[in-house]
Chain A
């Protein structure tokens, strides 16, 4: 843009201006001036033309957009704060009315007089079912994702990937009913078998079997599987071909290539996928309300009917709750929120620790 000095020596902005009606771009006019010997200058509309720098506009799309985004961000904070205030205001009176220790008491009688309830067993059940579900789902999900991206023929990979995405769209109540009415049979058989041969391990204790932590966790595992699979599939697809080739050229087998290039590169993404799955597992309500036995005891025996989670408990008990009962359930919801928050912060910390490597990888 603009006139090159030596060319426009006689047609430059400092020279005599011969105004013309033509809208020559600056460069074109200079060339024209040179060849025709008839000096013409741009009319001032040329892109690089003379005059001072334009002033910044006081109001424009840029500022309006900026204001809009700031307002949106602020609105989110206000809404969150309002919800927090409301929840805490409801929870505190119930907690004050509680005649047992909120953290350790194993039971949930907030509607009685005097009210007695404790979060311990519920929080324990929440974390246990979620972790068990991940234990089952993560290896399977990663296996499926690796198969889809690096082993399956391209068309099968895309097709199967689509089916798995569909699985993520199934409402959780469907999973819950399926688990309660169908899966409970096989799981009871499995429990009997596990107890017979591995009964010496405390987690595979005696029955009655059926609506157990194991059943709930398996249903949860199936529910989080598609999320983790489809996210890690995206992650694996993003590995640069050049890195995969580098590993192969060193003589890596396909599995070694996945281990040297694909998995490390996808690590932050995999962690994020697992955390999303964990978030869903921790917050899952209806499927667990349908499959767990709704007891209030802390027990590692995953085979016995029983178990409960914070979210399932809220679903099961909200209808019958009085004022204190609702307050108690809201307090339990706040604890669930805290658990989720801790999980997320931990995940962030893990990703952050290797930031130096993952950033240059991105």
Chain B
């Protein structure tokens, strides 16, 4: 049931400011795709347009077409909540619900889907927390507030919350930037597992991570501040990291950027 995502001429705006321009790329089902590029080049913006979170901001809009299994997600008739249920997202900054306990945070998505049965909730919560490598740390205090966790724990809590509802596509915006190497490895393992069934797109600033986990890598960049971000190169990860066809990509991944 994994989904193919196809972006055609996608541009996204914040008011009058064009943050990304004419992005064209296809993400195959059951793959991990890494988005890399310098800060401010529009990786998060592109990611957020995939599950229609971009338009939540006042004045923000998306142009072009984005399809999931050939269905236009920006179609007028499409229920935006259905899109977001199908395409889960882990945000760049951890955002657990501060009023909810750890447990309630993890099952928040299930509750929204109408799941009420306690046994199912508990089972799913444990599974999701184990996958996010958080279970051992929180199993004795599931009733405590989620905001009382450390930054890295909060991020893993948010990952657990996202995967608990088993979305077909998982978008992760720098999920490991606040994590120690052990948790980072655990999240990378998780991505390998998820890839069996789902499609994953991850934004990362960590080249090794991109090289380790992704099948395909997209390199975004901007000419100069104020310009929209563009997709410079999109290819198999191996190719990008060993023999990129664009000079700019090579400069970036070898650290000669800027």
Contact = CB atoms under 8 A, between A and B. Distances in A.
A265 B81 contact: no
B1 interface: no
Contacts of A357: 98-101, 145, 147
A256 interface: yes
Nearest to B148: A360
Given A360-B98, A361-B98, A256 B51 contact: no
B84 interface: yes
B91 A246 contact: yes
A240 B95 CA distance: 9
B80 to A, nearest CB: 9
Contact of A245 (B53, B109, B162): B53
Nearest to B83: A251
Contacts of A267: 99
Interface string B131-153: 00000000000001101100000
A249 B84 contact: yes
A361 B145 CA distance: 9
Interface string A235-263: 00000101111111111110010001100
Contact of B100 (A240, A252, A253, A264): A264
A320 interface: no
A243 B88 CA distance: 15
B82 interface: yes
Interface string B72-110: 000000000110110011010101111111000000110
A154 interface: yes
B98 A252 contact: no
A360 B53 contact: no
The size class of the interface chain B forms with chain A is: 20 to 34
A264 B104 CA distance: 13
Given A242-B93, A360-B147, A248 B53 contact: yes
A260 B145 contact: no
A249 B93 contact: no
Interface string B174-213: 0000000000000000000000000000000000000000
A246 B95 contact: yes
Nearest to B94: A242
A360 B112 CA distance: 23
A62 interface: no
Nearest to B101: A357
A113 B148 CA distance: 66
Contacts of A245: 53, 56, 91, 95
Contact of A253 (B81, B89, B147): B81
Given A252-B112, A356-B145, A265 B56 contact: no
A252 B111 CA distance: 10
A358 interface: yes
Contacts of A264: 97, 99-100
Contacts of B84: 248-251
Interface string A78-97: 00000000000000000000
B83 to A, nearest CB: 8
Given A250-B109, A251-B165, A357-B145, 8 more contacts: A243-B95, A246-B96, A250-B85, A251-B84, A260-B112, A264-B99, A265-B98, A361-B147
10 contacts: A154-B58, A242-B93, A243-B98, A244-B56, A246-B91, A247-B97, A250-B85, A252-B112, A357-B98, A361-B147
Interface of A: 154, 240, 242-253, 256, 260-261, 264-265, 267, 356-358, 360-361
Question: 5 tightest A-B contacts by CB?
Answer: A251-B85, A361-B98, A242-B95, A264-B99, A360-B147
